[in-house]
Structures are given as structure tokens and as C-alpha cells.
Amino acid sequence: MTTPSILLGVVLGLLYGSVFHLLRGGSIRKLLVFLVLAQAGFWGGLWLAGYTGWSFYVVGVMDAGAGTLGSLVLLAVSELLGRITLPEPETTSQQD
């Protein structure tokens, strides 16, 4: 993979994470989480496409479609997991 395609992949991943944060809102911490997840999803989708041999929307030597799909899937999964609320543990008071 060439340097320009790596740079394009980083820019696309950051773009997807920041647009997702713009749509969903949240704190700076959430922005950083979205940026990291979008990058991980982009490069994971790119790797999976190379591993399986399928591709769509190839830009130069990079499969931007698979990377985009990976980013969107990982961001959507993180949004769904973020909505899960766990029940509060019951506190027992010990009286002697």
C-alpha cells in the first residue's frame, strides 16, 4: 500500500468518526472513542476484504468501500452497545 493511500485511509476514518460524533453528539471523550473505533473499523474492513478477496469501490490500491463499511459497522455496534444499561448491584447492609 502506498503512502497516499494510507493517508487517504486515515483521513476517511477520521472523517467517519467525526461525522458520527456530529450526528450523535457527546463529550470529547466520546469523540476520541468514535475516532479510534472508526479507524479500527476502516482498517479492519480493509484487511477483511483483502483476506476474503472481495472488493468494491477501489480507489487506487485501497478498497475504500470495504473500509467504509467496516467503519460504519463498528460505529453502529458501538452505538448499540452504548445504549445497554446494566442493573445496579444491590447493596446489602450488614448490621451487627
Q: Is the dihedral of CA 22, 26, 29, 34 positive or negative?
A: negative
Name the residue with cell 450488614: 94
pTM for this structure? 0.81
pLDDT tens per residue across span 20-79: 999 988 889 999 999 999 999 999 999 999 899 888 888 888 888 999 999 999 999 988
Q: What is the reported pLDDT for 75?
A: 93
Neighbours of 7 (CB within 10 A): 10
Q: How confident is the model at residue 93 (pLDDT cuts 50, 70, 90)?
A: low
Q: What is the reported pLDDT for 54?
A: 87
DSSP 1: -
Q: How far apart are CA 44 and CA 42, in angstroms?
A: 5
